[in-house]
Amino acid sequence: MNVKTLAQAISCLDDYDPNALPVAHARNIIADCIAPVTAIERVPVRATLGRTLAEDVISGVDVPAHDNSAMDGYAVRHADLVTGDVTTLRMIGTAFAGRPYAGIIAAGACIRVMTGAVMPPGADTVVIQEMVTVEGDRITIPAGQEAGQNRRLAGEDLKRGMPVLRRGHTLRPAELGLLASLGATEAGVYRRLRVAFFSTGDELVPAGAPMAQGQVYDSNRYTLYGMLSRMGCEVLDMGVVRDDPAKLESALVTASANADVIVTSGGVSVGEADFIRELLAKLGDVVFWKIAMRPGRPMAFGRVGSTLFFGLPGNPVAVMVTFYQFVRDALLRMMGRTGDISLPLLQVPCTDRLRKKPGRTEYQRGVLRRTSEGQWCVSLTGAQGSGILRSMSEADCFIVLHHDQGGVNPGDLVSVQLMEGLA
């Protein structure tokens, strides 16, 4: 993968403006500077959930291994069935799943089969039990049965030698079952991404500690911990770092030595005590953005040594918005994820009037619901200030108002990103 320096990534943008960088440009710069992890570890199949596959998986067996019955019924030779009339056959045995019938079906005979039972030699069709009339060992079958019906063919799901899963695929519950169906007990996955994070600011105190006037509890580390852990990262919580250049420099150096990515909250605006900006210029390769977005305008991206750095705003909502709009995709790429990882945008009518001027992207917090007519619509959660974390707790989606978009009237379609399943 051709990883660019920040200077190279920026040079590709003719209209680069560090004071009003559009969201799409910021994403492109970040994407150009990402190098996925390459270390591979083999872990038990159950431990691969949520991990990224580091190698192609080729089937060593046919799945299913034999032709088998898809229904409870009777295995017959279709050639024995009378066209346009009923057919009576003699039942000569029974086949169960895991206990095949040992003989061969001769002309005029059939066997009772259960779902999953191996098709006996000679039989090619299954007639479901609800269709037949049984009198002793005589089975009467109505006309209209199709050759091969209700039969699963060997290798119908997967054939021996067939590529089953490709490198870069995320392993979900279905993939765990798929690996088990091949007889696999372990799989090769990329190692977990190591992410160090900390909050900055003299005003922050840990939850549970006494709080003096002018101080606030540090909620951002808990939010970051939740988002990073849900993505399957190996997290290093470095606590709260005070607004002291020496302490901040020490924290950044320690984080860069122990992690693939550093994520901080606070300290990236233009306040007198915001030292992160100067330290990153000293320790690494960095560009500070005033991104044309709301919330989350002050955000930094760069490197401390060889470690990627994301400096998120201090306001709680802005932390979550910038994480999901920038950090999430970067981490997934670094984990080795391939394909389209961007969050889909749904088009849904909005019930509220939204004020907005073109020139920035806005992320309002919304709630999806059904109208009395059964149609989906989206409404605001209420006050949308970047410090109102409750607006995120009550929301289940972002209402995305694009860069060149103006205001929204009730009933207008808006773009919506679902919050659940963001990883």
Residue 293 has a pLDDT of 93
Q: How far apart are CA 237 and CA 232, in angstroms?
A: 15
**Res 276: pLDDT:** 78
What phi and psi, each to the nearest 5 degrees, are found at residue 305?
65, -125
Helices (DSSP H) in 199-244: which residue ranges?
220-230
* pTM recorded for the entire structure: 0.84
pLDDT at 385: 76
Cis before 349 (ω within 30): no
Helix ranges (DSSP H) in 144-212: 173-181
What was the pLDDT predicted at 205? 87
What count of other Cβ atoms lies within 10 Å of the Cβ of residue 409?
Answer: 9
SS3 27: helix
Give the 3-state secondary structure of residue 407: coil
β 138-141/397-401 pair status = unpaired
Looking at residue 108, its pLDDT comes to: 96
d(CA 335, CA 26): 20
Q: Contact at 8 Å (CB) between 266 and 299?
A: no
Query: 134: closest CA among 166, 94, 163?
Result: 94
Closest CA to 87 of 33, 129, 140: 140
User: What whole-number distance in Å separates Cα of residue 231 and Cα of residue 36?
Assistant: 15
Neighbouring CB atoms inside 10 A of 153's CB total 13
Whole-number pLDDT of residue 217: 87
401 vs 407: CA distance, rounded Å: 8
Whole-number pLDDT of residue 8: 67
> What's the pLDDT at 137?
94
Both tokens assigned to 415:
């773009």
Position 367 scores a pLDDT of 94
**Which domains does the chain carry?**
6-39+193-334 (3.40.980.10), 41-60+165-190 (3.90.105.10), 68-152 (2.170.190.11), 346-418 (2.40.340.10)
Q: What are the residue ranges in the chain where pLDDT is below 50? A: none
The secondary structure of 315-338, three-state, reads CHHHHHHHHHHHHHHHHHHHCCCC
Query: How far is 68 from 172, CA to CA, in rounded Å?
Result: 27
